[in-house]
Amino acid sequence: MTPSARPALAWIAAATTALGMLATAAAPALAASSVPAASTPAPSTSTAPTAAAGTQADPLDSPRWEDMRKSFFADATVVFDERVRVSGPAVAEDSLNVPVSVDASGLPAVEELIVFADFNPIVKALRFEPGAAQPRLGFRIKLQQSSPVRAAARTADGVWHVGGAWVTATGGGCTLPSVGSGSPEWQERLNEVNGKLWPRVDGGERLRMRIIHPMDTGLAAGIPAFHIEDIVITDAEGRTLSRIQPLEPVSENPSFTLDLRAAAPGARLHVAGRDNNGNRIDAWVTR
Amino acid sequence: MSRSASSAPALHRRPAVRALRSLLAGLLFALCTLLAISPPVHAEDFDYRLQPRELAPGAWVVVGLKEDFSFANGGNIVNTGFIVGSEGVIVIDTGSSKRYGEQMLAAIRRVTPLPIVLVVNTHQHPDHFLGNQAFPRATLAALPETIAAIRSEGEGFNANMYRLNGDWMRDTEVVVPERALAAGRQRIGGRDVELRALGGHTVADLVVIDHDSGTVYAADLLFHDRTPTTPHADIARWLAALDTLEGLPARRWVPGHGEPATDLAPLRQTRDYLGWLAQTIRAGAESGQDMTELFQTPIPPRFAGLALVNEEFRRSVVHLFPAAERAVLEAARAKASR
């Protein structure tokens, strides 16, 4: 059998899942408030009923929610909304690469989406301006420990709609050095974009891309924060289509999945951007 | 983020563990009374109740549960084995803890007083070597790649096993085998034994063939009615190793997890699942699926009998998808830049 390669990974999976399930039987009230996502081994797509988040309790019952609300939304209107879906594994097998998809396509006119994890040492993971893309994005993040992973979508009326899911992790994903920081490969290939387009049956275009970058958090001793901070996707005519602004918790060599509403003219897209040291990203992606 | 805030979920869980223990004890008691069977493990006295079975004269196996590591099973989820020759005993894997190793040695002693002449760790995973403490250090041996992997990753594995199995792990320490094994056929302990160095489940997977009885101890290259696990897997190499195994003159097979068999059922199951897994992940990457979409892949009904198939499939996606995705995206870039 087979624990993970990383020192402290989600082999806890099974135990936690079993504990969660049995705890539910033994002490329902306790389980409901302590290990929501761990109680099912299925991928979690957990959401919450719509309610004013200022007055309604956090459906994920995180002691950090009030801090999250204050720091991200200040005086804006915030609602928990099941139309904002966060999908990921209930248990993170690899705390350095926790796959997450956020989807707010059930909402009208999403202008901006942010993703954060309450218990990460760096809470905010990324910001996404969908523009000409569907308001949904796939990516991977580092998790320091079990945490709610939340997405908040701001609609044109200025209201923030919040959804999320618990992900169980034991990994120290944010305080480990990147693999890249210990190898020369990233220096030669830094900001190299490997991407591909797939036409979609709905007439749109899927973009998947992986960018070579260590995405160091600055929390590993002696390794400063070093991460991509801006990615702009434009079409062949130079029109800006969409924008992703990753932060430190996004995984090393980040990969993104996004769906543009229309087919790309000439079946190609341009990806431009930079990291926090000013190194440029500049590449074409084709089918 | 503050430490106190961060520890909140763990604090909440502790009473649940206690509740779980008593619930579990009650459940076990009720079950055992009802069904009049002996429990596989006994949490109160930390006794794994290891019961060696003699598959053929001198060829023994201790069969573990088809589960994941947990406090309830104490980590007894692995098959270990031993071969009793005319002059000594060969031990194949030492289990998941110091207690397991000690109880395994005691079980061997109930069968034979002959000296332990060789103890192999078939590969680097902790349920196969964390019982090493119980055996004479000079008898511990493994393939060179396995020794290196236990040396570099053993402590991390051990820490994780404490978290998963709790007090069953008490005093368990990593003992790295010092003797490097080479493939070959020889008399060991007065028995005609062949060592084969294969790989694919991990970087090196040792197969022990007891030619006197026709028993192949295939370790984790074979899973039987239990889903194969892949955190260090190279599926293509694993499938090639299965082809090699199929060519062996075997009368019985001991998988690393699941029941021993006298036919090729474990081999065919493992091959079928791994083939489907590799194809599913490759197809997902080639069609532009995201990892979270791939998680939703329906599991074919023919795998419904494999224990933990839903959980292990998702773990395998996490293990294997990044390389498949990378291959597709790098090929696309190479094409675009031509």
Task: Compute the C-alpha angle B232/B205/B72, nearest 5°.
Answer: 65
Mean of all residue pLDDT scores within chain A:
83
Residues near A279 by Cβ (< 8 Å), separated by ≥ 6? Answer: A190, A191
**Is there a shared CATH topology between the A12-167 domain and the A180-286 domain?**
yes
Q: What is the pLDDT of residue A15?
A: 32
CB contact under 8 Å between A101 and B292, yes or no, is yes
Question: What are the average pLDDT values for consecutive 10-residue runs of chain A, which has 287 residues?
Answer: 38 32 32 33 45 72 95 94 95 93 97 97 97 98 95 97 93 66 76 96 96 94 94 96 98 97 95 97 96
Q: Give yes or no for a contact between B246 and B240, defined as CB atoms under 8 angstroms apart.
A: no
Q: Tell which residue, A84, A87, A107, A106, has the closest CA to residue A162.
A: A84
Measure the N-to-C terminal CA separation of chain A; round to a whole number of Å: 40
Q: Give yes or no for a contact between B114 and B121, defined as CB atoms under 8 angstroms apart.
A: no
CATH class given for the domain over A180-286: mainly beta
Q: What is the pLDDT of residue B245?
A: 98
pLDDT in tens, chain B (338 residues): 333 333 333 333 333 444 445 555 555 444 444 444 444 555 568 999 999 999 999 999 999 999 999 999 999 999 999 999 999 999 999 999 999 999 999 999 999 999 999 999 999 999 999 999 999 999 999 999 999 999 999 998 999 899 889 999 999 999 999 999 999 999 999 999 999 999 999 999 999 999 999 999 999 999 999 999 999 999 999 999 999 999 999 999 999 999 999 999 999 999 999 999 999 999 999 999 999 999 999 999 999 999 999 999 999 999 999 999 999 999 998 877 66
Was domain B53-263 assigned CATH 3.40.80.10?
no
Our CA-based measurement puts residue A154 at a distance from the nearest CA of chain B, in whole angstroms, of 23
- Which of B5, B12, B231 is the closest to A2 by Cβ? B231
Q: Tell which residue, A95, A112, A194, has the closest CA to residue A149.
A: A95
Provide the CB-side half-sphere exposure for B211 (13 A, CA): 13
* Domain definitions of chain A by residue range: 12-167, 180-286
Alpha-carbon distances, residue B70 vs B75, B174, B278, B334 (angstroms)? 6, 19, 28, 46
Residues A178 and B206: their CA atoms lie apart, in Å, by 32
Q: What is the pLDDT of residue A188?
A: 86
Q: Which of residues 48-87 of A touch B (CB under 8 A)?
A: 63-64, 87
Q: Which residues of B36-54 are buried (b: 16+ CB within 10 A; e: fewer)?
A: eeeebbebeebebebebee
What is the chain B residue with the closest CA to A64?
Answer: B5
- Which of A87, A170, A194 is the closest to B163 by Cβ? A170
Positive or negative, the CA dihedral A247, A250, A253, A257 is: negative
pLDDT tens digits, A133-172: 999 999 999 999 999 999 999 999 999 999 999 999 876 5
CB contact under 8 Å between A93 and B295, yes or no, is no
- The pLDDT > 70 percentage for chain A reads 76
What is the chain B residue with the closest CA to A24?
Answer: B16
Q: Is A231 an interface residue toward B (CB < 8 Å)?
A: no
Q: In terms of residues, how long is chain B?
A: 338
* Domain definitions of chain B by residue range: 14-45, 53-263, 279-336
Q: What is the pLDDT of residue B25?
A: 52
Q: By 3-state DSSP, what share of chain A in percent is helix, strand and coil, each rounded to 5? A: 15, 40, 45
Residue type, B283: A
Residues B122 and B126: their CA atoms lie apart, in Å, by 11
What is the chain A residue with the closest CA to B335?
Answer: A286
Q: Give yes or no for a contact between A128 and A232, defined as CB atoms under 8 angstroms apart.
A: no
Asked if this assembly's ipTM is beyond 0.90, the reply is no
Our CA-based measurement puts residue A237 at a distance from the nearest CA of chain B, in whole angstroms, of 18
User: Which chain B residues touch A23 with a CB distance below 8 Å?
Assistant: 13, 16, 19-20
What is the chain B residue with the closest CA to A259?
Answer: B288
What topology is assigned to A12-167 in CATH? Immunoglobulin-like (2.60.40)
Provide the CB-side half-sphere exposure for A231 (13 A, CA): 28
